[in-house]
Structure 1
Amino acid sequence: MTPEDIVAHYDLEPIPREGGLFRRTWAGPERADGRPEGTAIVALLTTDDYSALHRLPSDEIWHFYLGDPLRLLLLDPDGTTRSPVLGPDIRHGQHLQLTVPTGTWVGARVAAAGAWTLFGCTMAPGFTYEGYEHGNAAHLTARYPAEAARITELCRP
């Protein structure tokens, strides 16, 4: 299977601002506040793109499906940082599923020596563009200086 096969199979489209390609595969019923009860997407990243640092108003669960491992950068509200890897090698610390807590900045890139990753994200309540907050490199490097290089590579204007 190639990235082109996946794009054709799921009819993937660009993710606005964040990067990568995606398709929403499920949205739950609408709540009183206009958000869906939950949402799920499939997404594809290749080595020539990345998921820009962003944060959301609900927990976001990331799921590994196919391809190469995906290296995430998590910038926690308490000032700590983590770099978990989504991938199939759970015996060596990779995650098939990982929850990014509310308010945590997250960005991702296909791991070194990889070519592409097919993954998914699930949220409840569901994703809306109004809840998406795009990362600013200057603000984030000031808050998390030890991760300045990775922050810079995972931010876009």
Structure 2
Amino acid sequence: MTGKTKEYWIEKLGLQPHPKEEKGFFRETYRDEYTVTGRTGEERAASTVIYFLHDHDVLTENTTFFKVKHTEMIHHYHGSPLTLYYIDEKERKLNVVKLGEEEFHFPFPKDTWFTRVCEVDGGYSLIGCTVSPGFDFKDLVTTPFKELKSLFDS
């Protein structure tokens, strides 16, 4: 990793604090002008892309998990590895994927509970998220990790 700090990326990319996450910064960089019909019949952008910077954090009972209506592709760009957690409700399993070591992108399937955590002490992870059809905050559902434990076997 180069000597660039998280502050460097926040300033360079014009990132703002994320409204649903305490330790994250983001900026939407692309919203397709082409529209498509979403899963519930609404018109929306064909795709959207954001930068997201995760500050150091650990998975706890209160970690926010997310669910969106469409597939979200995560791309690792720079910094520390990012740990992805997602719940496979059919298999009743909490899955873990590490980005930034040997894998550099991962798609969270639609309607899947997931979170992203930079677990490297003092680290940060700069990623991108592509959603297609495009993201809309009204599609976003959040809940703390402790509320989801019944969905998988420990």
TM-score (normalised: structure 1):
0.81
Q: Is the 8 A contact 2:58 2:119 kept in 1?
A: no
Q: 2:132 corresponds to which residue? A: 124
Matches of 1:2 and 1:96 in 2, distance apart?
Answer: 20
The Cα shift of 1:77 comes to 2.8
Which amino acid in the other structure matches residue 17 of structure 1? K
The Cα shift of 1:141 comes to 1.7
**Mapping for residues 72-111 of structure 1, pairs under 5 Å:** 72-78=84-90, 79-87=92-100, 89-90=101-102, 95-111=103-119
Task: List per-residue Cα deviations over 1:82-117 (Å, max 9, x = no partner).
Answer: 110111x21xxxx10101111111111113345100
Matches of 1:133 and 1:125 in 2, distance apart?
Answer: 17
The Cα shift of 1:144 comes to 2.6
Residue 26 of structure 1 is aligned with which of 24, 30, 44?
30
Residue 14 of structure 2 is aligned with which of 1, 7, 11?
11
User: Superposition RMSD on alpha carbons, in Å?
Assistant: 2.0
Which amino acid in the other structure matches residue 85 of structure 1? K
Q: Is the 8 A contact 1:21 1:43 kept in 2?
A: yes
Equivalent position SS for 1:135: strand
Which amino acid in the other structure matches residue 93 of structure 2? T
Task: List per-residue Cα deviations over 1:22-42 (Å, max 9, x = no partner).
Answer: 010101123452321100001
Q: What is the number of residues matched between the two proteins?
A: 141
Matches of 1:125 and 1:59 in 2, distance apart?
Answer: 8
Q: Write 1 or 2 for the structure with the bigger share of helix.
A: 1
Relative to 1, partners in 2 of residues 1:49 and 1:128: Cα closer, same or farther, differing over 3 Å? Answer: farther
Matches of 2:132 and 2:70 in 1, distance apart?
Answer: 7
The Cα shift of 1:145 comes to 5.0
Q: Is the 8 A contact 1:60 1:122 kept in 2?
A: yes
Identity of aligned residues (%): 26
Equivalent position SS for 2:147: helix
Matches of 1:82 and 1:21 in 2, distance apart?
Answer: 25
Which amino acid in the other structure matches residue 5 of structure 1? Y
Q: Write 1 or 2 for the structure with the bigger share of strand.
A: 2
